Amino acid sequence: MPVPGALFVRLAPVALAALMLGACGASPAPRLHTLTLPPADPPAGGAAAVLVEILPVTVPQRLERDDIVLGAGGPLTTVPGERWAGPLPDEIRQAVADALWRQLKAVDVYQAPVSERATDLPLYRLAVRVERFQAIPGEAATIEIGWTVRRLPQGAAVVCRAARVVPLPEASVDGAVRALGQGTTQVAAALAEGVARVHQGKTPPCP
């Protein structure tokens, strides 16, 4: 780590090591948070009925960090020592995968691609983009996503959107995380319903 001001000189290896160890010892371990809320009822097991390639989720560049970001629009605040347990796109992707399993018995096969010629199960490709993901303590958390889904190999693309606003009366990181988790769970459920409508041929396809 950089050494401030007049101390920025060539240090002996032993002194440099001691300085780094001291700095590490003074820094508390970060608190890790997850968007995935404990389910009210455990998801049922069983065989998959649908296969979905969930592509990596895209998020606004300002959110591509481990630190939890609060605020909206203008100045954003990162809270020291408060981080997501995993990359935010992966956290959102897991919420989507959970919702698809509950709604459709759909399994994500992105990490282990399956050719449509190698399975009798319907196969879809899903792209998710996060348009808004913000928490303003004392006001609300807002999550807005768009997604594109199509059946492979040559199904027509269907584009949908969903947004949820969750009240956030608390001015705390824990409250913000809970509100963001609730909103993410709700938009993931709306997405899963949309994919189910596409699968069932319902019109309109977006809930």
- Where do the structural domains in the chain lie, given as residue ranges? 9-200
Structure tokens at 119: 């399975």
pLDDT of the residue at 160 = 96
Q: What is the DSSP letter of 207?
A: -
Query: What pLDDT score was predicted for residue 39?
Result: 63
pTM > 0.85: no
β-partners of residue 123 are: 51
Predicted local confidence at residue 117, as pLDDT: 84
At residue 52's C-alpha, the angle toward residues 113 and 56, to 5°, is 75
Residue 132: beta bridge partners?
Answer: 144
CATH class in words for 9-200: alpha beta
Please tell me whether residue 4 adopts helix, strand or coil conformation: coil
- Give the per-residue pLDDT at 26: 53
What is the mean pLDDT of each successive set of 10 residues along the chain, which is 207 residues long? Answer: 38 36 59 79 76 96 86 76 91 95 95 87 97 93 97 94 94 91 96 96 89
pLDDT of residue 50: 95
Q: Where are the alpha helices (DSSP H) in 2-156?
A: 13-26, 88-104
pLDDT at 95: 95
Q: What is the pLDDT, as a whole number, of residue 17?
A: 41
